[in-house]
Amino acid sequence: MSKGYVHVYTGNGKGKTTAALGLSMRAVCAGKRVFFGQFIKGLEYSELKCTEFTDNLEIEQFGRGCFIEKAATEEDISAAVKGLERLKEILKSGSYNIVVMDELNIALYFKLFSVEEALAAIKGRAENVEVIITGRYAPEEIINIADLVTEMKEIKHYYNEGIEARKGIEF
């Protein structure tokens, strides 16, 4: 790819990370290298096992393994800032064709770092790197720099009927 574009998957519906994973698998199967950085997340999600099947995909988590309820702790902020620094290096290096910034929008929503810092990382990328940004609450600044924005809208969800998250489907 001579020019990389910026995709944003946002909205309150299910499927943002799943869409990014699907695109990542398609890219890996086409011989591309993918780095999948997950903000907030730190639990054993099933997608972490993808790396056992291919050398073209790397997944790294920048979370603490717990959900941020109301306000971020210093530990949450520190983990996210380190993750953003790691992604900044990866984006700039051009070593990966696609870099996923999973739950970046949530990290911004909880003010783990500034929108300006995130934009600087994205704008500082190598020209051929495609960037995928996920998470609800995408700020206007992120939407403005994107080349593609998809909003996942919840119409109906079985969580509302008391169905718990299921391995292989939600995690």
Ordered domains of the chain (ranges, CATH): 6-152 (3.40.50.300)
Contact in structure between 27 and 4 (CB atoms under 8 Å): no
Between 17-21, 117-121, 163-167, the lowest mean confidence (pLDDT) is in: 163-167
66: three-class secondary structure by DSSP: coil
pLDDT recorded at residue 99 = 98
Q: Both tokens of residue 96?
A: 């990966």
Between 35-44, 66-75, 76-85, 115-124, the lowest mean confidence (pLDDT) is in: 66-75
Per-residue pLDDT of 134-147, as tens digits, reads: 999 999 999 999 99
The DSSP bridge partners found for residue 132 are 7, 100
The DSSP bridge partners found for residue 10 are 151
Between 22 and 167, residue with greater pLDDT: 22
Per-residue pLDDT of 33-67, as tens digits, reads: 999 999 987 667 778 788 888 999 999 999 887 66
Q: Which residue has the tokens 């890219």?
A: 27
Instruction: Measure the CA dihedral 28/99/60/12, to 10°.
Output: -100
pLDDT recorded at residue 64 = 80
pLDDT recorded at residue 98 = 98
- Give me the mean pLDDT over the 75-84 stretch: 95
Reply yes or no on whether the pLDDT at 158 is more than 90: no
Reply yes or no on whether the pLDDT at 100 is more than 90: yes
Contact in structure between 132 and 146 (CB atoms under 8 Å): no
Count the Cβ atoms, other than its own, within 10 Å of residue 140: 7
